[in-house]
A and B are shown apart, each in its own frame.
Chain A
Amino acid sequence: MTTLLEVYGLNKRFGGLHAVRDVSFTLQTGSITGVLGPNGAGKTTMFNLLTGFIAFDTGTINFDGQPLVRLAPHRIVNRGLARTFQLARPFVGMSVLENVEVACLAPRVRAEGKAASRAQALLDQVGLGEKSHQLVDVLSYGDLRRLEIARALATHPKLLLLDEPFAGLGAAEIQPLADLIRALHRSEGTTILIIEHKLSELMQLVQGVIAMDFGEIVAIGSPPEIVRNPRVVEAYIGKEDFDAPGLAIRGDGVGAT
């Protein structure tokens, strides 16, 4: 088991707000891990720091053996770290296929073949194959999420960061998307880190959980451990996303890293 990502002492302040506070964790290659926390816990900010969209104040990030220091977002993507956005931001006015084609034109994967055919294959993989020639403006929320994932996969990432993939989805759309993520993890072996504050969805998918609150990590462990952790429970008291600890956690996809 190799370590793909090491984060030490990551900090970010916005004026008086200490959004990310001394965050440290590691991710093993091939693992699928969740990031849990109430709104405002600093999860998306941490993603932005890892992917270069915001510069961090202090700390170290080592990805695939190399440090990530003040790199522009596109360079980080070309190192093999891809992300999706919480609010889907497709290229409006372009077709679904073209949306994924753009990612196929990234220097990292450009030489792998004709962008259009690779894009079609990716869309097939996420289940949007038939909609490839539609304008992206007409896609449903769930389909937009799949599109985001296809775009992120296009760059052959070693690490994929998914930012609240289930947000805003109805019950009928959540399960298929979760199945897709699980299937991709199995077939591609991509290391995945998912932010989600819908507890039940997250717990089904992941092997380990990083729990955050107020910018800090309050606990790291397997789903059953996290759910029983008093500090995690305390962070969630009164917050409506937290389901009862007696929730059944599915056997597959769960285990110690």
Chain B
Amino acid sequence: MGILKVDRLAVLLASAALATAPLLFDNTYAIGVLTVALCFGMWSASWDFMSGLTGRENFGHSLFIGAGAYTAGFLNVQFGLSPWWSLAAAPVCAVLFSLVIGIPTLRLKGPYFALAMLSGAAVMQNLTIIFSKYTGGQDGLNGLDPMLDSPLAYYYLVLIFLIVSTIILKVVANSTWGTILRAIRGDEASCQACGINVNFYKIASLMISAAFAGLGGALYAHYQLQVGPDLFAIVLSINIIIMVYVGGLGSIYGPVGGAILLNVLTESLRAFSEYRLWVYTLVLIFILFFMPQGLIAPLWRRIRSFVA
């Protein structure tokens, strides 16, 4: 299952579409919405890499997002470092968090792993509020510096990160790594019997997932120019899962599409902001019952089989 020519073409087209999108709207607000959508794209793709492939659904992905975002906040606001340092430090911090929570939870099965991760994020959210002296509590940290002066330029920066991240994750998912991760989903004991060090792959894939999520968190922080405990919230983790389901579990690119689609969709309902959550939950119910394979990845596969 390599990367065919048609896939390469699709990547180019999608990238081109995303590159021209902000130019169509040409107002700062719309560019902001799209930038946020791209961040969700990174979070969704990174979630899919671990959970979509291994089947171990992580209900606490926001832990890594918050870790990355607060790293950016600390370095920039408390220590006065240039925002570019966040890009290196945030993934490292997120990976450390993934080790702390990932190693003890290695042996937990499906729903228990999901809920342990969820608890981890909730604990972190509570700690952030409790130690308000350092973290700014409910108000969080404000006054982060933007990385670039122009919102449009920053959009393109985030876009580049998103495209490169997605490609990296997809290439790894298509490699022998991906085969092993999917085998872990199939049956862990058989995997052991094949001589594969299952724990290593579980932890490594969580670390990779965390790194990209943390990176997305830092990019988001330097867009919002503030970070708060809401970044650790359960609702954020769940929204990402919904985006992945819409995109198609395990496809990596599907979740990116799902993220962008849902963000744009709820934005167009902006006037009815109370309905935002309705959209997400109705979509989730619909997908679970009628399209568990998702929307975007199956659609692409069908297009692909016509073209290729």
Give me the interface of A with B, judged by CB distance under 8 Å. Answer: 51, 53, 72-75, 77-78, 82-85, 89-94, 98-99, 101-103, 105-109, 115, 151-152, 154-155
Q: Pick from B179, B191, B193, B198: contact of A82, CB below 8 A.
A: B193
Closest to B197 in A: A74
List of B residues within 8 angstroms of A90 by Cβ: 186-187, 190
Q: Name B residues whose Cβ lies closer than 8 Å to a Cβ of A.
A: 176, 179-180, 182-183, 185-187, 189-199
Contacts of A89 in B (CB 8 A): 187, 189-190
Q: Which of B185, B187, B196 has the largest number of chain A CB atoms within 10 A?
A: B196
CB-CB under 8 A from A108, the residues of chain B are 195
Let me know if A115 and B193 touch, CB within 8 A.
Answer: no
Given contact pairs A92-B186, A98-B183, A105-B180, enumerate 4 new A-B contacts (beta carbons under 8 Å).
A77-B194, A93-B185, A94-B183, A151-B193
Q: How far is the CA of A143 from the CA of B198 in the complex (A)?
A: 26
Kindly identify which residue among A73, A84, A98 contacts B192, using a CB–CB cutoff of 8 Å.
A73
A154 to B198, CA, bound (A): 17
Which of B176, B182, B195 has a CB less than 8 Å from the CB of A74?
A: B195
A102 with B185: CB separation less than 8 A: no
Chain B neighbourhood of A152, CB < 8 A: 193
- Please state if B179 and A105 are interface contacts (CB–CB under 8 Å): yes
Distance between A144 CB and nearest chain B CB, rounded to angstroms: 11
B195 CB contacts on chain A under 8 angstroms: 74, 77-78, 82, 103, 106-109, 155
Do B196 and A74 have beta carbons less than 8 Å apart? yes
Could you tell me the distance between the alpha carbons of A77 and B179 in the complex, rounded to whole angstroms? 19
| Residues on B with beta carbons closer than 8 Å to the beta carbon of A93 | 182, 185-186
Contact among A51, A102, A107 with B191 in the assembled complex (CB-CB below 8 Å): A102
Question: Is there an interface contact between A77 and B192, defined as CB atoms closer than 8 Å?
Answer: yes
A75 to B192, CA, bound (A): 9
Task: Flag if B194 contacts A155 (CB, 8 Å).
Answer: yes
Q: Which residues of A contact B176 (CB under 8 A)?
A: 101, 105, 115
| Chain A residues within 8 Å of B196, by CB | 74, 102, 105-106
Distance A51 CA – B176 CA, assembled complex (angstroms): 25
- CB <8 Å contact, B187 and A74: no
Tell me, rounded to whole Å, the shortest Cβ–Cβ distance linking A117 to chain B.
Answer: 13
Nearest chain B CB to A105 CB, angstrom units: 5
Cα–Cα, bound, A90→B192 (Å)? 12
Q: List 5 A-B contacts (CB under 8 A).
A: A51-B193, A83-B193, A85-B193, A93-B182, A105-B179
Known: A101-B179, A105-B176, A105-B179. A74 touches B192 (CB 8 A): yes
Nearest CB in chain A: distance from B56 CB, A: 15
- CB neighbours of A99 from chain B (8 A): 183
CB closest residue in chain B, given A152: B193
| Distance, CA A101 to CA B191, complexed state (A) | 11
Complex interface: chain B residues within 8 A of A154 (CB) = 194
Query: Quick one: closest B residue to A156, CB to CB?
Result: B195
Kindly list chain B residues whose C-beta atoms are within 8 Å of the C-beta of A51: 193
Closest residue of B by beta carbon distance from A84: B193
Assembled-state Cα–Cα distance A152/B190 (Å): 10
Q: A94-B182, A94-B183 are in contact. Are A103 and B189 (CB under 8 A)?
A: no
CB < 8 Å: which of B182, B187, B194, B198 contacts A103? B194
CA of A74 to CA of B180 in the docked complex: distance in angstroms?
13
A251 CA to B183 CA in the complex, in Å? Answer: 42
Q: Find out whether the CB atom of B187 lies under 8 angstroms from the CB atom of A102.
A: no
The residues of A that contact B180 with a CB separation of less than 8 Å are 102, 105
Q: How far is the CA of A238 from the CA of B43 in the complex (A)?
A: 63
Set of chain A residues within 8 Å of B179, measured between Cβ atoms:
94, 98, 101-102, 105, 115
A159–B194 Cα distance when bound, in Å, is 14
Measured CB to CB, the nearest residue on chain B to A83 is B193
Residues on B with C-beta less than 8 A from A151 are 190, 193-194
* B220 smallest CB distance to A (angstroms): 33
Name the contact of B193 in the complex, choosing from A73, A101, A105 (C-beta under 8 A).
A73
Residues of B within 8 A of A109 (CB): 195
Q: How far is the CA of A121 from the CA of B176 in the complex (A)?
A: 18
Cα of A82 to Cα of B189 in the assembled complex, Å: 13
Kindly list chain B residues whose C-beta atoms are within 8 Å of the C-beta of A105.
176, 179-180, 194, 196
In the complex, what distance in Å separates the CA atom of A152 from the CA atom of B189?
13
Within the assembled complex, what's the spacing in Å between the Cα atoms of A151 and B191?
Answer: 10
Contacts of B198 in A (CB 8 A): 74
Q: How far is the CB of B186 from chain A (nearest CB, A)?
A: 3
User: Distance (Å) between the CB of A2 and the closest chain B CB?
Assistant: 23
Q: Min CB distance, A44 to chain B, in Å?
A: 13
